[in-house]
Amino acid sequence: MATKNWRLEGDWIKNCNCAYGCPCDFNARPTRGECKGMVGMRITKGHFESTKLDGLSFCMTVAFPAALHEGNGEAQPIIDERATPAQREALFNILQGQNSDDGTLFSIFSAIVAKMHAPIFAPFNWQQFDQAGRKAHLSIPGVLETEVEPIKNPITGAPHRIQVVMPEGFEHHMGEVASANIVSSAAIPFTTRSSHSTLAHVVQTPQGVAA
């Protein structure tokens, strides 16, 4: 059981190399056999014990050789360079999963990652995050750039809207599905075009998703 008091609320982004719909959300195998992607959060309100985390951002690039539940993955944390030493420590305490109950997002993540690369501290430039519009653009110079736009109807070109609702989801309860381009340039390099994206607003706690 978690022993520390923390809470993160904010905008959540998950972009990966799979086809639209992310098979992982359906307990299916990755579209191309392996999983490469990124998850990130722009914290609107948060804390770890007495350390405030409002306004900070973090993300992780990840790579798994097969389905996520089979483990043996690698990850690299990327932390907002504006974070103070106390805030950096607070975020690492959350991301490492040791302050989360079993079966919750960060606890699961810590169990399936076999190699954790050294963290990067860099500026986060959120040029856009529009969940309802299925649009987002995050730039971390020299490290990561990802753009999100609505899925397009292949015949008419009109925006195509899909929501995934997961009442017992450990990552989010409802997300907008969209199309992502990703260029990752650090320890886990990869590039995707027109691959999966989920945009969501989440509240994460030691006990899991609260909203």
Tens of pLDDT along 71-84?
999 999 999 999 99
Sorted by where each begins, the domain ranges of the chain are 6-209
Are the CB atoms for 177 and 136 separated by under 8 Å? no
Residue 36, exposed/middle/buried by CB under 10 A (0-12, 13-18, 19+)? buried
When the pLDDT of each residue in the chain is averaged and rounded to a whole number, the result is 97
pLDDT of residue 9: 98
pLDDT band at 1 (very low <50, low <70, confident <90, very high): low
In this predicted model, what pLDDT tens digit does every residue of 115-145 receive, in sequence order? 999 999 999 999 999 999 999 999 999 999 9
Mean local confidence (pLDDT), 83-106: 96
Confidence of residue 205 (pLDDT cuts 50, 70, 90): very high
> Tens digits of per-residue pLDDT, 11-67?
999 999 999 999 999 999 999 999 999 999 999 999 999 999 999 999 999 999 999
User: So what's the pLDDT on residue 162?
Assistant: 97
Please state whether 184 falls in left (phi above 0), alpha (psi between -120 and 50) or beta.
beta
Higher local confidence (pLDDT), 1 or 84? 84
Pair 42, 85: CB distance under 8 Å: no
- Please, which residues bridge with residue 162 across strands? 177
Q: What is the C-alpha R_g of the chain? A: 16
**Cα gap 70→64, rounded to integer Å:** 9
- pTM of whole model > 0.85? yes
Tens digits of residue pLDDT in 99-110: 999 999 999 999
Give the single-character DSSP code of 19: P
* Torsion angles phi and psi, residue 87, rounded to 5: -70, -35
d(CA 33, CA 67): 7
Sequence-distant (≥ 6) Cβ neighbours of residue 157 within 8 angstroms: none
